[in-house]
Amino acid sequence: MSNEVAALSIQGLTAGYGGPPIIVQVTLTARRGAITAIVGPNGAGKSTLLKAVAGLIRPTAGRVFVEGKEVTNQPVETLVRRGIAYVPQVENIFPDLTIRDSGLSPRFQGLIWERIEQIRSTNVAVLIVEQNTRETLRHAQWAYVLVLGQNRLEGSGQDLLENDEVVDLYVGRLS
Ligand SMILES: Nc1ncnc2c1ncn2[C@@H]1O[C@H](COP(=O)(O)OP(=O)(O)OP(=O)(O)O)[C@@H](O)[C@H]1O
Ligand SMILES: [Mg+2]
């Protein structure tokens, strides 16, 4: 429902690491009961966006709202109390585990998606940043394509899966 307060609303967020901004005027909404995805090539600024939301880096412009309340520029400890925390992506995790042990196997990915769908069905807002674009878009009610730190495209996961640019650049065609 469009008049429902979004779980997370990011409006025109600009942030970086002191040099030129890495993300520029990014806008995004995540609703309860929906899987919202952020996809885009390596270096697009996906993790940087999350760091700016979680207060690890300070936005130079734009605003962040959680459940309708503004949290822009709040210190990390305040954000954590509001349930916003950042778990860093470190070298793509668990280098010592085999594929079987870590669940990077396709079967385990299926179980993870089942679990995410269960969580979504309890009216939680799920915002997901994932490398497997095709699978992510299959599950996402709404997805944002971030390129060079900016909003490039958005739409239902299904629509983006049928979008030529998305397919050519990020998904690949099934042969
Ligand atoms: N701590 C940092 N200091 C300076 N620049 C950084 C830092 N972390 C990331 N960057 C730069 O910000 C840009 C965006 O990186 P970011 O990690 O946000 O991309 P990403 O979309 O998450 O990529 P990936 O798909 O590889 O996870 C890159 O050019 C990267 O080099
Ligand atoms: Mg990243």
- Per-residue pLDDT tens digits for 108-125: 888 999 999 999 999 999
Find the 124 Cα to ligand 2 centroid distance in Å: 23
Buried/exposed code over 24-49 (b: 16+ C-beta within 10 A; e: otherwise): bebebbbbbebbbbbbbeeebbbbbb
Nearest CA to ligand 1 atom 17: 47
pLDDT reported for residue 21 = 98
Higher-confidence position of 111 and 150: 150
Q: Which amino acid is at 8?
A: L
- DSSP-based three-state secondary structure for 125: coil
Q: Is the pTM of this model over 0.85?
A: yes
Of residues 47, 58, 116, the one with CA closest to residue 88:
47
pLDDT value for 106: 79
Q: Which residues surround ligand 2, an ion (CB under 5 A)?
A: 46-47
**pLDDT band at 168, cuts 50/70/90?**
confident
Residue 130's alpha-carbon distances to 38, 109, 135, 167, in angstroms, are 7, 12, 9, 16
Q: Which of 17, 23, 47 to mutate to test the pocket of ligand 1 (most atoms within 8 A of CB)?
A: 47
Ligand 1, atom 27, residue with closest C-alpha: 42
pLDDT at position 97 is 67
- With a 6 Å cutoff on the Cβ, whether 22 touches ligand 1 is yes
**What pLDDT, in 10s, does the model give residues 67-96?**
999 999 999 999 999 888 887 766 555 666
Query: What separation in Å is there between the alpha carbon of 22 and the centre of ligand 1?
Result: 8
Q: How far is the CA of 23 from the centre of ligand 1 (A)?
A: 10
Asked if the 8-92+122-171 domain carries CATH number 3.40.50.300, the reply is yes
The domain spans of the chain are 8-92+122-171
